[in-house]
Structure 1
C-alpha cells in the first residue's frame, strides 16, 4: 500500500508541476486478490491517454474437467508434469473491446523447445531463457488471459511472467515450477 501511496503522491506532484517523466514508474507488486490500479497508458493509435485499471489479477494452473470446462486454481506452485497448464488471467476494470498485451516469460534455464499455438508475434532471447509474446484480443467482460502447457524438457525452478497492456507493466507473477515424485503422481504406494 505504501508503494501505491508514493506513486499517487509522485504522480500528483508531476501533474501539478507540469513535469513529464520520460519513463513510467513500474512498481513490482505481489499479485493477490486485492484490487490493483495502474496508471493511464498512451494509446498507440491516436496518442491519447487511456486509463487502464486492474480489477483482479491471478496466476495459477488450469484443469479441464470431463465436460471440457476449464477450472482455474490460483497458486504460485506449478507441478512439472507434461500436459499441466499454467498461466494468468487479468480482469480489466470497466474495459470492453480490443486490448493489445505483451507477455514476457523468463525461465531459470532454456527448455528443450519453445512453441506456441500460432507462432506469430513470438520471439525467444538469444540465450533461450526468455520469450516475448504479443497479442491483440477482444477483452470479453474485460478479461485477458494466457496459458502455457508443460512439455518434456521444460526446466524446474523460479519463473517470472510480466504482463503489459499498451506497453505499460500491469502485473508481475513470480512462480515456482517443481518436480513431482513419479510414484506420487501415479498414485502408487511408496512403501514396499
Structure 2
C-alpha cells in the first residue's frame, strides 16, 4: 500500500468514525412551546342559551340555580391542547354549618372550620385562540366570597375574586 492509499484509508476511517458518532447522538431538543396569556375575563354566561359563550363581565354572580358563570382566557400558543387546573376556594365552612343547621339531614355532616378547595384538572383545546371554564350555581349553593385561580401549563394564568349573592 503506497502513502496515498494509506492516507485515503485513514481519511475514510476518520469520516466513518465521525459519522457513526453523530448518528447515535441525541436529536436536538424541540423548541419549547410557549403559552402567552393575552387576556382573561370573568363573569356570567346567559342561562337561557347553554351553547353560547357570551360573557357578561361581573364580579357578582346571582345565587340562582342554573346561573352559569366562569372565565374566558385568550391565549397565543402553538400547542394543540393545554393542561388547565382550576383551584376554586369555596366559602368558609361556618356558613355551610349554618346552612346545614336548618336541614336535619345536614346536621350529621362534619365540615371542618377550614375553607374548602375544589380542584378541576383537564386538557383544553384552544378554539380561535381562547379557552374557557364554566361553572353553574347548584341547589343549596351558599352565598359568599369566592376565589378562583386558573393554572395553565403549570403557571398561574388568572386569578379571580367574586361574590355569589
Q: How far apart in 1 are the matches of 2:148 and 2:50?
A: 30
**Partner SS state of residue 128, structure 2:** helix
The residue aligned with 1:159 is 146
TM-score (norm 1): 0.55
Runs of 4+ with >4 A deviation: 64-68
Q: How far apart in 1 are the matches of 2:40 and 2:84?
A: 14
Query: Within 5 Å, which residues of 2 pair with 1:37-186?
Result: 49-65=32-48, 69-95=52-78, 97-109=80-92, 129-178=116-165
Count of aligned positions? 121
Residue 169 of structure 1 and its aligned partner are, at CA, apart by 0.7
Distance verdict in 2 for CA 1:169–1:78, change over 3 Å: same
Q: How far apart in 2 are the matches of 1:47 and 1:104?
A: 31
Instruction: Indicate if the aligned counterparts of 1:95 and 1:141 stay in contact, CA closer than 8 A.
Output: no
TM-score (norm 2): 0.63
Unaligned runs of 5+ in 2: 1-28, 98-111
**Partner SS state of residue 40, structure 2:** strand
Unaligned runs of 5+ in 1: 1-45, 113-125, 179-192
Note the aligned Cα RMSD (angstroms).
Answer: 2.8
Which protein is richer in helix relative to its size? 2
Distance verdict in 2 for CA 1:94–1:166, change over 3 Å: closer
Larger RCO (CA within 8 A; separation ≥ 6): 2
Q: How far apart in 1 are the matches of 2:30 and 2:155?
A: 14
Instruction: Indicate if the aligned counterparts of 2:47 and 2:66 stay in contact, CA closer than 8 A.
Output: no
The residue aligned with 1:189 is none
The residue aligned with 1:120 is none
Distance verdict in 2 for CA 1:89–1:73, change over 3 Å: same
